[in-house]
Amino acid sequence: MTNKEKIEINASLRTPGKGNCRKLRSEKNIPAVLYGPKTEPLNIYIEERDAVKYTKHGYENTIFTLKSDDKAVNGKQVLKKSLSVHPVSRKPLHIDFYVPDMTQTVYVNVELAFTGKSQGEKDGGVFNAIRREIEIECLPAEIPEKFEVDITGMNLNDTLHVSDLSLGDVKIITAPELTICSVAEVKEEEVKPEDAEAAAAAALADPKAEAAPAGDKKDG
């Protein structure tokens, strides 16, 4: 499922430096940088509201188009590469945007979305999602939004591996032998008879009820 939605973000060139970055943040803007195989590094900033919105879950592999009055920035297609956030407020502090060569493949991690309810769960088992994303190689314009994995056919004690995924022509980089999910049988913990007896004895015991040693009590 490829994300075909075109999202434009307003961007402007900025002067580097900590003082300028603090000033931008006070004006509700977020410093950022552009770089890529065919792009000289450029210092830019975007609006805080866009930074907050488009750094949320669901936009990890989105190709954004930058809109700017600066010719060096306008029209650049970018991927969010890394993000720095405030340790308390969790607001964005700085963003790295990667400008890919749209004719060359890139390596990206894509979410695995598990759908349906397995037969094993219906039979009393527990579903475990062990891996929630895989790494693939593809062209930037063909990056999938997510991969849906139908688990309805899984029975008790079944396991799916990366090699079991059917993703068409997508080249998977993640090792094929790695487990992505399983349906485990719930086993009740056995209590040994001697353990049960010891627990019962401990519950009945009352240290305060122990008799005082003979001879400790003296007549007045």
Distance CA 34, CA 43 (A): 6
Question: What are the tens digits of pLDDT across the range 2-37?
Answer: 455 689 999 999 999 999 999 999 999 999 999 999
The answer on pLDDT for 151 being more than 90 is: yes
Bridge-based pairing of strands 146-150 and 77-85 is unpaired
Report the alpha-carbon distance of residue 68 to residue 27 in Å, rounded: 18
What pTM was computed for the model?
Answer: 0.72
Mode of pairing for the β-strands spanning 92-98 and 29-36: parallel
Residue 169 confidence (pLDDT)? 82
Q: Is the predicted pLDDT of residue 192 greater than 90, yes or no?
A: no
Helix (H, G, I), strand (E, B) or coil at 29: strand
Alpha-carbon span 152 to 174, nearest angstrom: 23
Mean pLDDT score, 189-194: 56
Mean pLDDT of 138-153: 93
Residue 154 pLDDT greater than 80, yes or no: yes
pLDDT for 204 equals: 59
Helix/strand/coil (H, E, C) string of 142-162? Answer: HCECEEEEECCCCCCCCEEEH
Whole-angstrom CA distances from 216 to 210, 211, 212, 213 are: 14, 11, 7, 6
DSSP assignment, residue 2? B
3-state secondary structure of 18: helix
Closest to 17 in 3D by CA, of 31, 34, 27, 36: 31
pLDDT given for residue 103 in this prediction: 94
Mind listing the domains of the chain with CATH numbers? 7-98 (2.40.240.10), 106-184 (2.170.120.20)
Decide if pLDDT at 210 tops 70. Answer: no
Q: How many CB atoms lie within 10 A of CB 85?
A: 15
Query: For 81-118, what is each residue's pLDDT tens digit?
Result: 999 999 999 999 999 999 999 999 999 999 999 999 99
Higher pLDDT, 198 or 75: 75
The reported pLDDT for the residue numbered 209 is 47
Average pLDDT over residues 168-186: 93
In this structure, what are the phi and psi dihedrals at residue 180, rounded to the nearest 5 degrees? -105, -30
Residue 73: which of 114, 48, 36, 109 has the closest Cα? 36
Mode of pairing for the β-strands spanning 106-115 and 92-98: unpaired
CA distance 3 to 17: 35
Sheet containing 179-184: give its strands across.
126-129, 179-184, 159-161
Q: For residue 61, what is the DSSP state?
A: T
Say whether pLDDT at 38 is over 50: yes
Q: How confident is the model at residue 196 (pLDDT cuts 50, 70, 90)?
A: low
pLDDT at res. 4: 57
**pLDDT grade for 56, boundaries at 50, 70 and 90:** confident
